[in-house]
Amino acid sequence: MNRSIYLLKRIALALPVILFGLTVTFLILYRGPLDPANAILGQDAAPSDVRRLRVALGYINPDGSPVPLWQQYYGVMSDLLLFDFGNSWAVQRNVSVASIIVSRMPATLWLGFWSVMVALVVGIPTGFFAGLRANSLSDYVASGGGIVWRAMPNFWLAVILAGSLTAGGLMSWYRHFPCGPNENPCAWRTDVVTTPSEVSNLFSTIDLFTGVPVLEMLFIPVPNGFNLLIAFKWILPAALVLGSASMGNEIRIGRTAVLESINSKYVETAKAKGLSPRRIIVKHVGRNAAIPLLPVIMGEFYLLIGGSVLVEKVFSINGLGNLFFRAIIVPDIPVVMALVFIFVLINVFVNITQDLLYTVIDPRVTLEDTG
Amino acid sequence: MTENDKSRRTFLKATGAAALTAGIAGCSGDGSSEPTDASTETGTGTGEQTPVVKERTEIVPGSTAVEKTGEYSFRITLREPFSFAVPVLAYSAFSIVPEGVVGDIQGYDGDMSYEEFSTSNPVGAGPFRFETWESGDGGEFAATAFEDYHGEAADFDLQDAIITSPTARFNYFLNENADVAGIPTEKYEPNKVDLPSGAGQRTGSYGPLQNDKTVNMARTPTINTFYVGFNMEKVPKAVRQAMAYVVNRESFVESVFKSRGAGAYNLTPTQIFPGGASAYQEHWQGYDGGDTGGSGFDGLSGYPYSPNQNDVAAAKQVMREAGYGPDNRFELNWLQYESGTWKQMANTIRSRLEAAFIDMNISSAAFGPLLSQSEKGQHEALTLGWIADYPAPQNFLQLVDPPNTVYDAEGTQPNGARLFWSEDAMADENVRQFMVDQFDRIQNNPGTSEEAKQTRADAAVKLEEGLWASAAMIPIYHRTDDLFWYDTVDYDAPGAMGASRSKMVNAASGVKGGTVNGISATFNSLDPIASGNTASGGKIMDMFDAPFNYPNAAPEAEPLLVEDFEANDELTQYEFKLKEGVQFQGDYGEVTADDAVYSIRRLVESSNSTNTYFPLSVLNIDREERTVTYTEAPSGE
């Protein structure tokens, strides 16, 4: 089957998945025990205010009768699918959900990017290294380390790391590194919690020709070197926590995959042909070992969605995970629905990408229908 | 509560439970549209198919009884006499904003959009000018000193990190990112405290912290009470009394709250108890064995349920007398808000009650669901707290005025303590009537004369005794607020009304570096009439000025934007004279009577107002209402 037809088919099949996910979320939010009006207004709210808010939130009609569930469902779904996320109820009253999400996005993307990088850059090479030196001391150290990283739960590791970075902790030097502890002011200083403003200024948009920011002209994002460094230093502990589990996974699976392929016949053949060890590892062992690694790597994206809630909370990172948590607690249903919608879309997109990548890595995997 | 409210409640009762539950079923009230007040059901009942004809009353726009009487003077007319208008007008929702700044009431188009005003450009006459607000956990809030402030201008700016996790807050403080902060109970170590003994606010030191620093500390008893309330239609008196017997406040406060509070025997906190702290203590001590009911009930002398001890034997006996025993146990559902400390306490109570033939199930809920479940009466035992709106006993005791403990979806009066102390309650009718009468004595003697004060004080004390007799509610503790600060600031910790009622300009001085760094909880709006929680209340206090103010949260309100005021003899009309020459921030000119009228009208009439409780229920400002008749389709759900 043609790859683009396959892609279209997958996208068509994804629609029911998206609808199902949203419907379940809708039912939980609108049929569950949440009571936004009471939560927003609090204990000493005048009942007339509560009622007025319920009308404004679309729970009851102006005449007091409850809005039927199907009507609420239709309203919510049609707005969502047209990417009209509406206004926030409680996180930031009357501000558009889209602008809230956009303002929280940079921190989460930055965190996600570096936690994937930590896992990829440390995990896979270490796994390969261990596999190539199977049953040596360095293998034991590497794969033992992998198991330990894998075993440490995020919520625990985050609290421990935040604690040891804090004044009086083992690694409190990290905050002012590389300045001395008494060097003030120190531009390199980072806080353990809260989000520095550098994160939202990682890039400047500079006009290509004049070098000055001009909105009307052709402009491109140019990295702000120092901001990038500061933001990297700040995010590293959180990214390490979030990436730790997948890093451990990648070490273990990378090791096994390398061990499997290195003993197979085609590697012997390659050796016999006189290929250099480097070429064998990159071209033959590496490529085959990547097949079992692919779902693990892609799985990191799911982890980032779920895991960021926790890590962002502990480090007080003003990102989407924290927003999601806050929106459920207050509760702010338009924000929750919009975020779930985005998470479902990411999920579906990642899944489709994963299947397409299989065919790229392993030509034996085809897109033929078996029937 | 007004006579009107009361007759309406009686009317609802007469139409029967059916009408009441009909209002509750849709979780919705009986309906109205945008600007509303009380509404009255005059329908044909809740027949399945018959459309219900209903009437609702709504406030006529512009009818709020606040009027300009001169360039700098305005008058407020109340429906009923009320002597606490001054402290109520110190509430941040009454902050004065420039006339016409937003167009959310009739007659104004607005200088800016509501979103702009409430999130990025709030304009007030307060000591700090808004700078930035990045909302959300991990965000920040900043404001700079307003040079033209009518009081003494601040010589420092404000910068708050918005952090919600207690651990993250503590870490932030340890790293000296914040000058002033609280320490969460789980991180707080009582052995590090060095405070002088005594009552009232105490200042001392705390430390060393893990960063080897010793910080300054102030412990302030704020005006609040946390309690366990019962749904009296579901929980028999014996069960309520049994719990009262096994509650040992002093040991709870010490072991669960690490002594950051004091045991509560009265609902009215110590600071505002008639006669003061010593009267409070004398009131509950020395129970003489008086009866907790009966036809001649006229109060009690002393707290009747074994104060300061865990009296399982007495609990057992009171249950036995009511016919319970090993084979006839009572199952009690306990509902609490999400809190580790209350959970700990609930577990202790559960294990003690087990011996007294009561099986307790503990469940917890977020604040919203907790409120909606309890207003529908789905709870049995419930934990809640009340923090003073204004420092007077009736602000607390209105919670237990029996008619106010039954949910009423209408009107402006919020539900009290959710006790459901109706005529159907499992309680002595005499005690209920006693409570109603005593609360009426408070309501009917609003004056400032010595005699009226004496009557109110006497009634307040009697209400506490009626509460003991019925065991409708068990006050548990009065919280104290601890604040900690480094030497980078000379900090005068806010008083009994709590930090959210103070302006930083009155608390901080000698600020090193020119900025006071703090930690704030999340908040959702910078509009005074929509400020929902204590965090936004604190921000409003810094940027806006109201007619009155609690100077650094001391419990005596003083004029702020107002220079002088007078009330008529009936205490139904107040005329205020504003200070002249007070400037708004950002070129909005002088504060005049027009601005005051506009601001109070917004609080009453704007659809953005989430605080109409204060003008309509507490103050009860006069307003015109019109009746709208409409037909409601039968509910098809």
**Structural domain includes residue B408:** yes
- Contact residues on chain A for B135, CB-CB shorter than 8 A: 91-92, 100
Tokens of B52: 């219900």
Residue partners of A119: CB distance under 8 A and separation at least 6? A243, A246, A247, A250, A297, A300
CATH label of the domain that carries residue B443: 3.10.105.10
Taking the C-alpha atoms of residue B428 and residue B415, their distance in angstroms, rounded to an integer, is 22
Q: Taking a C-beta distance cutoff of 8 angstroms, is the pair B210, B200 a contact?
A: no
Nearest one of B384, B380, B461 to B420, comparing CA atoms: B380
Taking the C-alpha atoms of residue B29 and residue A60, their distance in angstroms, rounded to an integer, is 9
Do B328 and B362 lie in one domain? The reply is: yes
Question: Does the CB of A105 have a partner CB in chain B at under 8 Å?
Answer: no
Residue ending a domain, choose from B501, B517, B543: B543
Q: Summarize pLDDT for B390-437 with one digit per residue, the tens.
A: 999 999 999 999 998 987 666 677 778 899 999 999 999 999 999 999
Residue B534 has pLDDT above 80, yes or no: no
Please tell me the total count of domains within chain B. 3
Neighbours of A68 (CB within 10 A): 13
- DSSP per position, B84-136: -HHHHTTSGGG----TTSS--STT---SS-HHHHHHT----SSSEEEEEEE-S
Tens-level pLDDT at each residue, chain A (371 residues):
577 888 888 889 999 999 999 999 999 998 887 788 888 887 778 777 888 888 888 888 877 788 889 999 999 999 998 999 999 988 888 889 999 999 898 888 899 889 988 888 999 999 989 988 888 999 999 989 889 988 988 889 999 999 999 988 888 888 888 887 777 677 778 888 888 888 878 877 666 566 665 555 556 677 788 888 889 999 999 999 998 888 888 898 889 989 888 888 888 898 888 888 888 888 888 888 888 888 888 888 776 676 688 899 999 999 999 999 989 888 899 999 999 999 899 889 888 888 888 878 777 776 665 44
**Structural domain includes residue B41:** no
pLDDT confidence of residue B410 = 64
**Sequence letter at residue B583:** Q
Rounded to an integer, the average pLDDT of B327-343 is 92
Q: For the ranges B56-60, B442-446, B489-493, which has the lowest average pLDDT?
A: B56-60
- Residue B347's SS3 state is helix
Higher per-residue confidence, B22 vs A229:
A229
Tokens of B67: 């009027």
pLDDT confidence of residue A48 = 78
- Contact residues on chain B for A326, CB-CB shorter than 8 A: 136-137, 164, 522
Taking the C-alpha atoms of residue B470 and residue B435, their distance in angstroms, rounded to an integer, is 10
- DSSP per position, B271-306: GGSTTHHHHHHHHHS------SSSTT----SS--S-
Residue partners of A16: CB distance under 8 A and separation at least 6? none
Tokens of B299: 């109060």
- Contact residues on chain B for A55, CB-CB shorter than 8 A: 32-34
Provide the pairing of β-strand B202-206 with B215-221.
Answer: antiparallel
Residue ending a domain, choose from B507, B525, B543: B543
pLDDT confidence of residue B215 = 97
Residue B112's pLDDT band (cuts 50, 70, 90):
very high
- Exposed e or buried b per residue across A294-328, where buried means at least 16 C-beta atoms within 10 angstroms of its C-beta: bebbeebbebbbebbbbbbbbbbbbbbbbbbbbbb
pLDDT confidence of residue B14 = 34
**Structural domain includes residue B30:** no
Do B170 and B231 lie in one domain? The reply is: no
Question: Does the CB of B522 have a partner CB in chain A at under 8 Å?
Answer: yes
**Structural domain includes residue B1:** no
Nearest one of B628, B552, B569, B560 to B150, comparing CA atoms: B560
Highest mean pLDDT among A65-74, B238-247, B286-295, B441-450: B238-247
- Contact residues on chain B for A63, CB-CB shorter than 8 A: 31-33, 630-632
Q: Summarize pLDDT for B125-141 with one digit per residue, the tens.
A: 999 999 999 888 889 99
CATH label of the domain that carries residue B538: 3.40.190
User: 3-state DSSP: chain B helix, strand, coil percent, rounded to 5?
Assistant: 30, 20, 45
Contact A45 B34 (CB under 8 A): no
Do B353 and B237 lie in one domain? The reply is: yes
Nearest one of A89, A64, A50 to B610, comparing CA atoms: A50
Do B346 and B316 lie in one domain? The reply is: yes
Do B267 and B133 lie in one domain? The reply is: no
Q: Taking a C-beta distance cutoff of 8 angstroms, is the pair B322, B487 a contact?
A: no
Residue ending a domain, choose from B427, B456, B479: B479
Contact B211 A167 (CB under 8 A): yes
Contact A318 B134 (CB under 8 A): yes
Do B134 and B160 lie in one domain? The reply is: yes
Contact B135 A93 (CB under 8 A): no
Tokens of B486: 């480094």
pLDDT confidence of residue B51 = 59
Residue B68 has pLDDT above 90, yes or no: yes
pLDDT confidence of residue B23 = 31
- Residue B71's SS3 state is coil
pLDDT confidence of residue B17 = 32
Point out the residue among A33, A49, A168 whose CB comes nearest to the CB of B211. Answer: A168
Do B272 and B384 lie in one domain? The reply is: yes
For residue B562, the enclosing domain spans: 17-23+50-111+546-632
- CATH class name, domain A100-331: mainly alpha
Do B589 and B564 lie in one domain? The reply is: yes
Point out the residue among A48, A162, A192 whose CB comes nearest to the CB of B37. Answer: A48
Do B99 and B138 lie in one domain? The reply is: no
Do B194 and B285 lie in one domain? The reply is: no
**Sequence letter at residue B507:** A
Q: Summarize pLDDT for B228-283 with one digit per residue, the tens.
A: 999 999 999 999 999 999 999 999 999 999 999 999 999 999 999 999 999 999 99
Residue partners of A13: CB distance under 8 A and separation at least 6? none
- Contact residues on chain B for A69, CB-CB shorter than 8 A: 637
Average pLDDT value for chain B: 87
Q: Identify the DSSP state of B628.
A: E
Total length of chain A? 371
Q: Summarize pLDDT for B142-192 with one digit per residue, the tens.
A: 999 999 999 999 999 999 999 988 889 999 999 999 999 999 888 999 999
Q: What is the 3-state secondary structure (H, E, C) of chain A?
A: CCHHHHHHHHHHHHHHHHHHHHHHHHHHHHHCCCCHHHHHHCCCCCHHHHHHHHHHHCCECCCCCECCHHHHHHHHHHHHHCCCCCECCCCCCCCEHHHHHHHHHHHHHHHHHHHHHHHHHHHHHHHHHHHHCCCCHHHHHHHHHHHHHHHCCHHHHHHHHHHHHCCCCCCHHHHCCCCCCCCCCCCCCCCCCCCCHHHHHCEEEEECCCCCCCCCCCEEEEECHHHHHHHHHHHHHHHHHHHHHHHHHHHHHHHHHHHHHHCCHHHHHHHHCCCCHHHHHHHHHHHHHHHHHHHHHHHHHHHHHHHHHHHHHHCCCCCHHHHHHHHHHCCCHHHHHHHHHHHHHHHHHHHHHHHHHHHHHCCCCCCCCCC
Q: Which of residues 206-235 of A touch B (CB under 8 A)?
A: none
Contact A47 B409 (CB under 8 A): yes
E strand intervals along B274-389: 330-337, 358-365, 381-387
HSE (side-chain half, CA atoms, 13 Å) at A205: 8
Total length of chain B? 637
Do B388 and B429 lie in one domain? The reply is: yes
**Structural domain includes residue B37:** no
pLDDT confidence of residue B484 = 97
Q: Which of residues 340-379 of B touch A (CB under 8 A)?
A: 365-369, 371-373, 375
Taking the C-alpha atoms of residue A150 and residue A126, their distance in angstroms, rounded to an integer, is 14
Do B87 and B149 lie in one domain? The reply is: no
pLDDT confidence of residue A297 = 82
